Structure 1
Amino acid sequence: MLMISALNLKLSKIALVIIVLFNLVVAIVLMEYFWNLSKIDYSNTTNWKEISGYFNKEGYKPAKISTPGLEGSGYVLEPGNVQFKFINPKAKSGSPEKILQDNDYVYQEMFKNKITEPKDMDIETIRPPDPEKINSYQRANATIIALVRNSEVSGIGRSIQKFEKSFNGKFKYPYTFINDAPFSDKFKAKMRKFSDAPMEFVEIPRQLWDKPSFIDSEKEKSMMLALARHNVAYAMKPSYHNMCRFYSGNFYNVPELQKYKYYWRIEPDVKFYSDIRYDIFKYLQGTGKVYGFTVNLYDIDETLTTLWPETLKYLNEDDNFKYVNENGAFQWLLENQQNPKKNANTGGYSTCHFWSNFEIGDMDFFRGEAYNKWFQHLDQSGGFYYERWGDAPVHSMGLALFADKSKIHWFRDIGYFHDPYLNCPNSDSTKNCKIGTFSRWKHLNDQNCMGSWIDYSMEGMEKVY
């Protein structure tokens, strides 16, 4: 009995020591925990990821710090405090597949009703002139732009033939062909066979086309290789980077284009499916709209991971917030439901953009201080060469931020195709395409941004078509 009692006493002392040591360890851990927690700046909302790391128990969610105005409107425009947020105005929910299904339904519903021409202007006042009076027709201050090489003579020729039949044969707007090299006599002669409209053949000034001297060539090469490893098209092609930069912010500065206000961009091997019987340029002029498109889709997120962060950086510098139009297309720009990985990889940009191989626009918008100052900032960052920022997302982001979204026009009545995407209206003037088709390949339907544009950026659409 004495032996058992002694053994129990010994065990009790050991247990006591273990308990004391355990409590000491717990106390040290808790002290370190609260010491680390005390160093966090709770007033800074960007630290909530750090804070939530401490509260990682399943089911626990830290309270959110909200900026006044951000939750309701989706944006805050203050000096040094420019913020944007996708607030899901239509309360859409579900998986990306479910969101795609809902957005496709919205898109297809738009094509059920037959349309004719825009209703927000008296179209009868901008009908084609009598062919015999075409030379005296008072055109808008506009031109057709084609950036092409001599080797693309056949492709651009096919486009012009279709374009003349669809639109320009009725109005004879001048063509401006631009190239980073001199056009050959053969190219010029061939173009003149396709149209008797005035034509100008322009070599782009080197300072508007060539890579800027401040670009770090070693960094550029390294970044190009990184993009190539992700199978990004044209990643290793310097001329493509030059083209993206040129069309993003320098095309409207070409001396021969200075005399024009409006432009319509066309490219090789595109198709026009509709008979357009009103003056598109005078329509923009009469309605005050600054831009028109036909196709609206997601971009390759690897090519522009820093475009949106760099833009936010710019908007938070000095008083640059003042350029943002409060009726901008912010929700379309920030949507994160259909392709959430793209949004995550770009720091909050949906990658939705207007496909710029077809665009009709007001060059004075791009020449304006709001857009041009922002472009200069982007250019200095080097993103056109260290990544592969395209002119389409740059144009689109600039328009979404600095233009009233009501001044951006979806030309629903113009049938258009650039492989593999198209716009095919439900109208009597459109032939040879399937109504409501977004792409000739069904697996690309998830790249359609039109559902978001319709839901978030088209106001009073019944007044237009």
Structure 2
Amino acid sequence: MVSIPRKIARLLAFALIVSTIILVGVNSGGWNLQAGSNSRVSGDRKLVFSHKSAKTPQQIVEENYKTLQEILKRPIHEPKTGNLVRPPSDPDQYDRANATMLVLVRNRELGQVVRTIKQIEAKFNRKFHYPYVFLNEEPFTERFKETIKKHVSGKTYFESIDKAIWEQPESINVQRQDEAMQQLEAENVGYAKLVSYHNMCRYYSVNFYNHPRLQQFRYYWRFEPGTDYYCDLDYDVFKFMEMNKKTYGFVIALYDVEQSVKTLWPRTMEFLAEHPDYLHPNGAYDFLLENLQNPHKTLIANGYSTCHFWSNFEIADMDFYRSKPYSDWVNFLDSTGGFYYERWGDAPVHSVGIGLFEDRDKIHWFRDIGYKHQPYTLCSNCPSCKGCKTADFTYKHLRDQNCLTNWWNYEMSEEQKNIY
């Protein structure tokens, strides 16, 4: 039988190990957590960014942007998988994937969401008639519902979010929160003092996939009011995800505001110290740990590059969010209060989660979905794309926010690069 002193000694030793891992990671920018012995890459994948460069950050910004322009100017058409599912002759009789269009929207955003829905219907959904789920923290008005029904081809679900789930937990220290929000606002962090924005980020990170209505679906296409879509899609993107075993699809990747996620990575390392088996051996570690283009961001974010998939568009498998690794992790994050004491966004949370706990080959860059959410655009050289300028991305002063080239350089296999 183990004596009490020995139990205490073991606990102290474990605490010391965890603390050492965290301190070493923060101070060096490298996290030496092994990714398991069954990695299919040479040697163990580790949470360490090992790439070096003698170039200045500004030189890397220009080089990466040039590479992005070259990629987007290459003529592409559709994914060359050989199993694309074409539009049916009768969409109402079509055997759709278990999927939905999804938007979190307020009644006052009716005009903007209709504008975007018209584009989604014209480019994609009028061919397949996928249903829509509309989420709101308040009940939808009859005017909102009746107007929406005039513009969609699929079934509509208008759902309210339980206030007990939407609103910040009672465990949040309001004084600490107010002080943190004041500091973030002083550092020009957007939406820092808007509690509803913090609620939204937390909801999209921790809860949306467990909404009673969404429980009946596996895949979702998230869209935002006022965003633009430029390219005709003549295949079922949900069945593309399903048949090609893709977990997450994105269009734009950016750096985040570093002050908003100062402790997201250290907290994640605390979690992984207790659950190293959750780490996927073929995760997207370099994307998350890159420190060459914006090294100040990685420094302030304590090891996290802040690169993330811009989640205002995403097509993803909610079964991933419902899995034990992701669920345990986000519940741990939620317990720390970081969604309110900082401004952790759902985009970095989704990106860190998918980058650590999923095979990077199951993440798909939809280069054939032209998209704009001001001030960023994805416009490829694709014959189905109309209304956007090929290779357009953003204003010159924002070019350093480009993380797409990092994804291309560090995480995409040759097979993935040549899929279009």
Same fold (TM over 0.5): yes
Say yes or no: does 1:431 pair with 2:390: no
Instruction: Find 2:180's aligned residue among 196, 217, 223.
Output: 223
Displacement of 1:48: 8.8
2:11 paired residue number:
none
1:455 paired residue number:
409
CA contact (8 A) 1:93 1:99 kept: no
CA contact (8 A) 1:142 1:173 kept: yes
Partner Cα distance (1:236, 1:195) in 2: 35
Say yes or no: does 1:203 pair with 2:164: no
1:376 paired residue number:
331
Say yes or no: does 1:182 pair with 2:139: yes
Partner Cα distance (1:165, 1:48) in 2: 52
Instruction: Find 1:97's aligned residue among 55, 58, 69.
Output: 58
- Secondary structure at the counterpart of residue 111 of structure 1: helix
Say yes or no: does 1:254 pair with 2:211: yes
CA contact (8 A) 1:228 1:236 kept: yes
Partner Cα distance (1:45, 1:443) in 2: 37
Gaps of 5+ in 1: 1-43, 53-63
2:285 paired residue number:
330
2:8 paired residue number:
none
Instruction: Find 1:129's aligned residue among 88, 104, 114.
Output: 88
Cα deviation, 1:349-399, whole Å, max 9, x if unaligned, reads 000000000000000000100111000000000000000000000000001
Quickly say closer, same or farther: Cα 1:449–1:188, change in 2 above 3 A: same
Displacement of 1:122: 1.9
Letter in 2 for 1:443: H
Q: How does 1:138-157 map to 2 (within 5 A)?
A: 138-157=95-114
Q: How does 1:351-362 map to 2 (within 5 A)?
A: 351-362=306-317
2:48 paired residue number:
85
Partner Cα distance (1:75, 1:338) in 2: 24
Displacement of 1:83: 6.3
Q: How does 1:203-352 map to 2 (within 5 A)?
A: 203-317=160-274, 320-352=275-307
- Secondary structure at the counterpart of residue 221 of structure 1: helix
Partner Cα distance (1:48, 1:398) in 2: 22
CA contact (8 A) 2:166 2:199 kept: yes
Gaps of 5+ in 2: 1-19, 37-44
CA contact (8 A) 1:179 1:202 kept: yes
Quickly say closer, same or farther: Cα 1:47–1:134, change in 2 above 3 A: closer
2:14 paired residue number:
none
CA contact (8 A) 2:35 2:280 kept: no
Partner Cα distance (2:136, 2:417) in 1: 41
Q: Which range moved further: 94-103 or 378-387?
A: 94-103
Partner Cα distance (2:399, 2:248) in 1: 24
Q: For the aligned residues, what is the CA RMSD?
A: 2.0
Letter in 2 for 1:93: A
Partner Cα distance (1:45, 1:197) in 2: 50
CA contact (8 A) 1:121 1:286 kept: no
Q: Give the percent of matched residue pairs that are identical in Structure 1 and Structure 2.
A: 46
Partner Cα distance (1:438, 1:354) in 2: 15
Quickly say closer, same or farther: Cα 1:195–1:406, change in 2 above 3 A: same
Aligned length: 390
CA contact (8 A) 2:219 2:238 kept: yes
Displacement of 1:230: 1.0
Runs of 4+ in 1 over 4 A off after TM superposition: 44-49
Cα deviation, 1:235-276, whole Å, max 9, x if unaligned, reads 111110000000001000100100000000011101100000
Letter in 2 for 1:129: P
Displacement of 1:213: 1.3
Quickly say closer, same or farther: Cα 1:92–1:119, change in 2 above 3 A: farther
2:34 paired residue number:
76
**Which of 1 and 2 has greater Rg?**
1
- Secondary structure at the counterpart of residue 150 of structure 2: helix
1:16 paired residue number:
none
- Report which structure shows greater RCO (CA 8 Å, sep ≥6): 2
CA contact (8 A) 1:147 1:178 kept: yes
- Secondary structure at the counterpart of residue 316 of structure 1: helix
Quickly say closer, same or farther: Cα 1:109–1:326, change in 2 above 3 A: same
1:38 paired residue number:
none
Instruction: Find 1:159's aligned residue among 109, 116, 127.
Output: 116
CA contact (8 A) 2:86 2:236 kept: yes
CA contact (8 A) 1:293 1:354 kept: yes
TM-score normalised according to structure 2 size: 0.89
Letter in 1 for 2:391: G
Partner Cα distance (2:115, 2:66) in 1: 34
CA contact (8 A) 2:35 2:46 kept: yes
